[in-house]
Amino acid sequence: MTPKEHVDHIVRDHAEIADLVARLRSALERGDQREMKSLLLALQMLEAKHYATEEALMRVVAYDGAEAHRAEHATMLDTLKRINEALVWENLATVSPQVVAHLEAALAHMIDADQTLNRFVSGNTGLAAG
């Protein structure tokens, strides 16, 4: 994939992640456990794919902040896996604080770490990673 193709994927993924986060918050407010489970599994798959795409872009552009950025991805994905494992046995009320914290972390990551990467990529290739 070229840096431009990576960037296009990342921009689309960010919109999808923001949409899933909004739907998850709504399901959480309604206490809809069935919908939460399916949305959280969808979010885990999307985050895994998305982080791999961003990490590939970081390699392509030799990003100097890659290690710290990858560590944030790994922590978020690990948290989400634990939430999804817990949801098999626990009810929504038990895991909802972790869900809320994860959604906040995922949005904060897009605003902070991803925008820092974006500035690096646009400064080095003239592209914007969203």
Q: Which residues bind Fe ion (CB under 5 A)?
A: 54, 114
> Closest CB to Fe ion among 91 and 107?
107
Phi, psi of 63 (to 5 degrees): -70, 130
Q: Which CB, 39 or 63, lies closer to Fe ion?
A: 63
Alpha helix positions (H), the chain? 3-30, 33-60, 66-89, 92-111, 113-125
> Which residue lies nearer to Fe ion by CB, 36 or 50?
50
* Neighbouring C-beta atoms of residue 62, cutoff 10 Å: 9
The distance in angstroms from the start CA to the end CA of the chain is 17
Q: How far is the CB of 93 from Fe ion (least distance, A)?
A: 29
Shortest distance, position 70 Cβ to Fe ion, whole Å: 9
Give the shortest CB-35-to-Fe ion separation in angstroms: 24
* Residue at token pair 């990342």: 10
